[in-house]
Amino acid sequence: MKYYECNLHTLPDGSDSPSRMALAAKKLGYSGIIISNHSPAGVAFRLDAAELVRGIEVAIGAEIVATDQRGLHARAASLRDRADFLAVHGGDERINRAACEDPNVDMLAHPHGGRTGIGVAAAKAAKDNQVAICLDLGPMISLRGGSRVRWMEMVRRDLDLIDKFDLSLMISTSPRSHLDLRSPRDLVALASLLGVERERALKALALPGSIVELNRRRWASVGVEVL
Amino acid sequence: MMITPENLVRHELIGLPIEVVEGRNPSQVGISGRVVDETRNTFLIETRSGDKRVPKSTNSFLFTLSQGLKVKAVGSVLVSQPENRINKKMRRSRWKL
């Protein structure tokens, strides 16, 4: 199986260049990375160098940071044709729901930023619009003590919802530096602490690759592909 | 109006060269010919070995448009009576069906 790191931030959002990230990810055993920066159009600094790194695929995605639903839908529609992978920075309940209701969106990242998680309405919409939910394991590594316990409780609740509605799951640590990257094996082990079985975690790590592959094809309209 | 990949789903399909490229029934995959009739759920394809009726929803089809342009369409987006397909609303995008 080919594993992808799906929510990676490079310069100017993160602290490392795309090529350094690509080299570090390759060393850890990834087949590809998806650079999803917050900056307009997700443009990464010195991307050409990363594309020269052999043995790893570098895909350009974008992560939308929106304050209201209308802005989110407009940004998603405008970025859709330019980005191979479109994520939305969630956290707020309204933004989580708006992201799940937009079929242009591929993934909802950081849905557990606020006190609330996904919620039933958003989970239902995510199922209808095939929006994947990203299980961001970054807080599990960085938080300590009570705050980590509370975070884990919230994620467990959301994982129950993800199971109930049979949503697509992706796993990431949202790295901003090459030091934040964790190997697929580490991510599977961390996810198992949250109750995600090994097979499911491996599938979650491989899913971004298949979505990028689908997005790169030429779609003339819904379900119609130009060969 | 000329048929293009963008308007294929809403266009008249009778007369177009068609091939079944993917499907749940392996014996129907590979059927190729010309569309001679269409119902809500099926295409009637004129092949060298006679007319064959193929369901839309379980198959993917390859259409050859004018200028030799090849377009693959998932059958589930074509499920509708031909006269109603022009009004069909689609809220999904790209590969999301």
Of B62, B71, B97, the CB nearest to A220: B71
Closest C-alpha to A168, from A106, A222, A215: A106
Candidates B57, B63, B64, B93: best to mutate against A (most CBs of A within 10 A) is B93
Report pLDDT for B8.
Answer: 87
**CATH superfamily of domain region A4-225:** Metal-dependent hydrolases (3.20.20.140)
Q: For position A164, what pLDDT does the model report?
A: 93
Question: What span, in angstroms and rounded, lies between the C-alpha atoms of A120 and A161?
Answer: 7
What are the domain boundaries of chain A?
4-225
Which CATH number is associated with domain B11-85? 2.30.30.210
Whose tokens are 């995959």? That residue is B29
Chain B residue nearest residue A212, CA to CA: B95
ipTM score assigned to the predicted complex: 0.84
Predicted TM-score (pTM) of the model is: 0.84
Longest dimension (CA), chain A: 54
Q: Which residues of chain A lie closer than 8 angstroms to B4, CB-CB?
A: 220
* B90 at A interface, C-beta within 8 A: yes
List of residues 6+ apart from A134 with CB closer than 8 A:
A6, A7, A87, A107, A108, A109, A110, A111, A170, A171, A172
pLDDT at A118 over 90: no
Residue B95 reports pLDDT greater than 80: no
Give A 99-118 residues with CB within 8 A of chain B.
Answer: 103-104
Tokens 């839908």 -> residue: A73
The least confident of A30-44, A130-144, A174-188, B44-58 is: A30-44
**Residues B93, A104: C-beta atoms closer than 8 Å:** yes
Comparing CA positions, the residue from A125, A113, A1 lying closest to residue A63 is A113
Cα–Cα dist A185/B12, whole Å? 52
Q: Do A214 and B94 meet the contact criterion of CB atoms below 8 Å apart? A: yes
Tokens of B9: 């789903």
Beta bridge partners of A89: A109
Residues 33-72 in B contacting A (C-alpha not used; CB under 8 Å): 62, 69-72
Residues of A in Cβ contact (< 8 Å) with B72: 224-225, 227
Question: Domain boundaries in chain B?
Answer: 11-85
- Interface A-B: count of C-beta contacts within 8 A: 63
Chain A, 130 to 159: residues with Cβ < 8 Å from chain B are 130
Question: Cβ of A227 under 8 Å from any chain B Cβ?
Answer: yes
pLDDT in tens, A2-49: 999 988 898 888 888 889 999 999 999 999 999 988 876 556 677 777
Please, what sign has the CA dihedral across residues A94, A95, A99, A100? negative
Average pLDDT estimate for B59-76: 91
- In this complex, do A221 and B70 lie within 8 Å of one another by their Cβ atoms? no
